[in-house]
């Protein structure tokens, strides 16, 4: 792609348009699992969300949690351990939980939260199997609480702009998407390398971004997958889960999506979309900040400048808005279940060395709720 500097840039301002609510009417959350994502991304996001407030912490490490609580302005009685999670039932200020635990624990805490009447925002992947993910959807339905898969990318302005360019026809008929999400983490001993906690390797962790983004940008569902997995012989990190996966998805419109994810390659996260009349590049595509969107069509080459907004705050705002209105989230549990189905097909294809068929589904956004209301863009 030609350098965007060669032509012109245009600017898009993105703003959260949901009203900033007074603290006492914001949706109150308990965060479950105080690891890296919670501490580094979610605490700041709660601070930025005008619809949400953090009321309680659930942890296996009380000492760490008490320190964090003090910094967050929470009281010692706002810290719960896993065994006493159900005591949150008596906290009317806590309407929702945010599950930020290792993947295989997502089902248990979703079911426990549903049983005490709390709405559930659950980190990706929704779970470690189709069966678990479907059970989570059912548990929340039966309890009358909302379940949202925390797919921050679908609330991210750069990806929303890319989706509009693709679905609005700017690139013409889209033929190909190529996504890469690779990194060298995790280190030995991390739960991400243990099958019983992670459920799989790089596919469930970073490959899911490639898969979910292809579905989100196109709005379509794949009907066939073909995949290879690879783990470096002798690398002890990959005794239980795979290092790398290469997978191809075929969509009803003819679109082919080609993807590579790995735990064994230095960090790179990009997405290229090729259409009859133009192409676009998101690079980096899946990072928390500093995303870049470049568009190259028959008439212009430009970088679309989009004002950065905290991805996790946007996601939180959306879910809180749903809790307040009772509407289904844009990325409900069903959206996570569908990715789980496709990931199981990807593993099966790699195991059996042949393409695997999925149910052929026509139509767009079949597993999504109403488009998020909070994002409006204005040309500067």
Residue of 4, 50, 102, 199 interacting with ligand NDP (CB under 6 A): 102
Binding status of residue 191 toward ligand NDP by CB under 6 A: yes
Q: Which long-range contacts (CB under 8 A, 24 or more apart) does 83-86 make?
A: 85/32, 85/58, 85/109, 85/112, 86/112, 86/115, 86/116
- The residue length of the chain stands at 380
Binding status of residue 282 toward ligand NDP by CB under 6 A: no
Q: Which among 124, 151, 155, 216 is annotated as catalytic? A: 124
Binding status of residue 355 toward ligand NDP by CB under 6 A: no
| Secondary structure in 3-state letters for 299-353 | CCEEEEEECCCCHHHHHHHHHHHHHHHCCCCCCEHHHHHHHHHHHHHHHHHHHHC
Binding status of residue 100 toward ligand NDP by CB under 6 A: yes
Binding status of residue 59 toward ligand NDP by CB under 6 A: yes
Among left, alpha and beta (phi > 0; psi -120 to 50; other), residue 286 is: alpha
| Upstream peptide bond of 246 is cis (omega within 30 degrees of 0) | no
Binding status of residue 333 toward ligand NDP by CB under 6 A: no
Give, as ranges, the residues between 137 and 166 that touch ligand NDP (CB under 6 A).
150, 152
Give, as ranges, the residues between 285 and 324 that touch ligand NDP (CB under 6 A).
none
Among residues 156, 100, 120, 162, the alpha carbon closest in space to that of 294 is found at 162
Among left, alpha and beta (phi > 0; psi -120 to 50; other), residue 80 is: beta
Does residue 267 carry a catalytic annotation? no
Binding status of residue 34 toward ligand NDP by CB under 6 A: yes
Nearer to ligand NDP, 68 or 279 (CB): 68
Residue of 4, 33, 278, 372 interacting with ligand NDP (CB under 6 A): 33
Does residue 155 carry a catalytic annotation? no
Residue of 12, 21, 37, 135 interacting with ligand NDP (CB under 6 A): 37
Binding status of residue 356 toward ligand NDP by CB under 6 A: no
Nearer to ligand NDP, 208 or 301 (CB): 208
Residue of 19, 23, 44, 60 interacting with ligand NDP (CB under 6 A): 60
Nearer to ligand NDP, 97 or 150 (CB): 150
Strand residues in the chain grouped as ranges (E):
8-16, 27-32, 52-59, 79-81, 96-99, 119-123, 147-150, 174-182, 224-230, 244-250, 256-262, 268-275, 278-282, 293-297, 301-306, 356-357, 375-379
Binding status of residue 123 toward ligand NDP by CB under 6 A: yes
SS3 224: strand
Separation CA 369–CA 346 (nearest Å): 25
Binding status of residue 101 toward ligand NDP by CB under 6 A: yes
| Residue 162 parent element (H or E) | helix 157-167
Residues in binding contact with ligand NDP, number by CB under 6 A: 20
Residue whose beta carbon is closest to ligand NDP: 35
Binding status of residue 242 toward ligand NDP by CB under 6 A: no
Binding status of residue 212 toward ligand NDP by CB under 6 A: no
Nearer to ligand NDP, 244 or 279 (CB): 244
> Which are the catalytic amino acids?
124, 209
- Catalog residues that contact ligand NDP under the rule CB under 6 A: 33-38, 59-61, 100-103, 123-124, 150, 152, 191, 197, 205
């Amino acid at each position: 792609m030609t350098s965007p500097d060669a032509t012109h840039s245009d600017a898009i301002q993105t703003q959260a348009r949901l009203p900033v609510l007074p603290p006492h009417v914001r949706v109150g959350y308990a965060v479950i699992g105080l690891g890296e994502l919670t501490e580094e991304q979610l605490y700041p996001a709660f601070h930025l969300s005008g619809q949400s407030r953090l009321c309680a912490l659930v942890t296996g490490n009380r000492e760490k949690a008490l320190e964090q609580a003090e910094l967050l302005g929470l009281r010692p009685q706002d810290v719960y351990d896993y065994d006493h999670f159900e005591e949150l039932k008596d906290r009317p200020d806590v309407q929702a939980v945010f599950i930020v635990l290792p993947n295989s624990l997502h089902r248990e805490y979703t079911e426990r939260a549903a049983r005490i009447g709390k709405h559930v925002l659950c980190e990706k992947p929704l779970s470690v199997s189709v069966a678990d993910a479907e059970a989570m959807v059912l548990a929340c339905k039966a309890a009358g609480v909302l379940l949202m898969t925390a797919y921050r990318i679908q609330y991210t302005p750069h990806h929303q702009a890319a989706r509009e360019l693709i679905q609005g026809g700017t690139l013409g008929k889209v033929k190909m998407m190529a996504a890469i999400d690779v990194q060298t983490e995790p280190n030995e001993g991390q739960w991400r390398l243990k099958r019983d906690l992670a459920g799989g390797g790089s596919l469930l962790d970073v490959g899911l971004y490639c898969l979910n983004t292809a579905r989100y940008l196109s709005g379509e569902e794949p009907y066939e997958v073909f995949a290879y997995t690879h783990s470096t012989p002798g690398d002890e990190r990959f005794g239980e889960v795979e290092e790398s996966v290469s997978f191809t998805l075929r969509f009803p419109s003819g679109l082919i999506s080609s993807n590579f994810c790995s735990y064994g390659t230095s960090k790179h996260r990009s997405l290229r979309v090729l259409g009859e009349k133009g192409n676009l590049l998101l690079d980096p595509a899946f990072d928390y900040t500093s995303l870049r969107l470049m568009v190259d069509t028959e008439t212009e080459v430009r970088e679309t400048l989009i004002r950065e907004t905290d991805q996790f705050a946007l996601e939180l705002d959306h879910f809180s808005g749903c809790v307040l209105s009772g509407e289904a989230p844009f990325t409900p549990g069903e959206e996570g279940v569908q990715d789980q189905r496709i990931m199981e097909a990807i593993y099966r294809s790699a195991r059996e060395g042949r393409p695997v068929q999925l149910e052929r589904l026509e139509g767009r956004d079949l597993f999504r709720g109403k488009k998020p209301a909070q994002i409006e863009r204005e040309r500067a």
